[in-house]
Amino acid sequence: MGVILIIGTVIVYIVELTMRILVKLNKKIIDIKTNNSSYLYIITGVVVLIIILPDLFYTYFVYGLYYAGYSDPPLFWDQLFLSFGLHFLIDPSTKGEHILKDMLSNHLGQGILTVHMIFIRIIDITVLGAVSSLFIQKVGKRIN
């Protein structure tokens, strides 16, 4: 029960932080009076970075800690590809299948994968909501 509360608190904090970053970035960009193409590039870059960061975090820290006791842990790139595969629903490679089978063989690995999937879906929904809000604001200003 305590782990669920900690994970929920971290997820709420990450969602709030993501929203604040996007809102502050939007205000700063509007204050600079940039043209539409530079605005689009900056927002796209930030969105891509926010979407990729959870996968890098999980690959480096969480999967790294999970495999810390193993004598022959999988390569970082194989873990990263598996992490992106879980995020974007891509079939894992043969090495990714081995990592996945290993993690699904015990409760800790199952919990890590479940939290990873929930975490990235919440980040994706938050970013999608923030970007659509920015888009609606831009369209609303043009209509009025």
Residue-wise pLDDT tens for the chain (144 aa)? 566 677 667 777 777 777 777 777 666 655 555 556 666 677 777 788 888 888 888 888 888 888 888 888 888 888 888 888 888 888 888 888 888 898 899 998 888 888 888 888 888 888 888 778 777 877 777 776
Q: Would the CA dihedral through 92, 115, 73, 50 be positive or negative?
A: positive
Whole-angstrom Cα distance, residue 142 to residue 137? 9
Predicted TM-score of the model (pTM):
0.69
